[in-house]
Amino acid sequence: MKLYHAPASPFVRKVMVLLHEAGAADRVTLVPAAGTPLDSGTMPVDRNPLGKIPALERPDGPTLYDSRVITRYLDDLLATGLYPPAPHLWDTLTLEATGDGIAEAAVLMRYEMHVRPEASRSPEWAEGQWRKVDRALSAVEDRWASHLAGPLDMGQIALGCALGYLDLRHAGRNWRAAHPALAAWWTGFAARPAMAATA
């Protein structure tokens, strides 16, 4: 299998963490890809017409894209159990969607302030994205503590990758100050070997 990949992407990192947790990172060949909404660059547009990564080229069918599709496929292929059966599945999927939403808002902020031409940038729009992040972090801290303390699943991995991206691209925002319980969870989670290997 080939994974179109950029190490700074929180969505690529989700896939890589799953592979490391499964002990299967060597089953995927990494293909570097880079681009933006303004310039597709080396993004695999022939594999994913949306021009996004990750994209997983597999031997038994069309290329898969969107990190949630890829992680579900790999979870099934590798029998990792990171998506539990219902009824717990719905909590896992909701937390995964929350983590992905945090990452998406943070990526859009990065594009707005570093990719768009300076004269076209909207700090107000970027702040609107940060409000999404902050609301989501508060919701996780208020409602998901017991889930975060439970068995490892893709919801936790998605959230961890989103928090890592906040540290990478938006460290000056200091999200930890307003979310100390989540910050404490992240400190422990970030020490997992699969997270350390993909940092």
Instruction: Give the domain 88-192 fold.
Output: Glutathione S-transferase Yfyf (Class Pi); Chain A, domain 2 (1.20.1050)
In this structure, what token pair is assigned to residue 152?
């490892």
33 pLDDT higher than 90: yes
In this structure, what token pair is assigned to residue 110?
């990065």
3-state secondary structure 93-150: HHHHHHHHHHHHHHHHHHHHHHCCCHHHCCHHHHHHHHHHHHHHHHHHHHHCHHHHCC
Q: How far is residue 173's CA from residue 169's CA, in Å, rounded to a whole number?
A: 9
What is the tens place of the pLDDT at every residue in 180-192?
A: 999 999 999 999 9
Instruction: Measure the CA angle with vertex 196, ends 194 and 198; round to 5°.
Output: 70
Q: Would you say domain 2-78 falls under CATH 3.10.350.10?
A: no
What is the tens place of the pLDDT at every residue in 86-135?
A: 999 999 999 999 999 999 999 999 999 999 999 999 999 999 999 999 99
5 pLDDT higher than 90: yes
The reported pTM is 0.96
In this structure, what token pair is assigned to residue 151?
């068995």
- 14 membership: H or E segment, kind and range: helix 10-21
Contacts of 56 (CB under 8 A, 6+ apart): 1, 2, 3, 4, 15, 28, 63, 64, 65, 70, 73, 74
Can you give the residue ranges of every domain in the chain? 2-78, 88-192
- 69 membership: H or E segment, kind and range: helix 67-78
Which pLDDT band holds residue 38 (cuts at 50, 70, 90)? confident
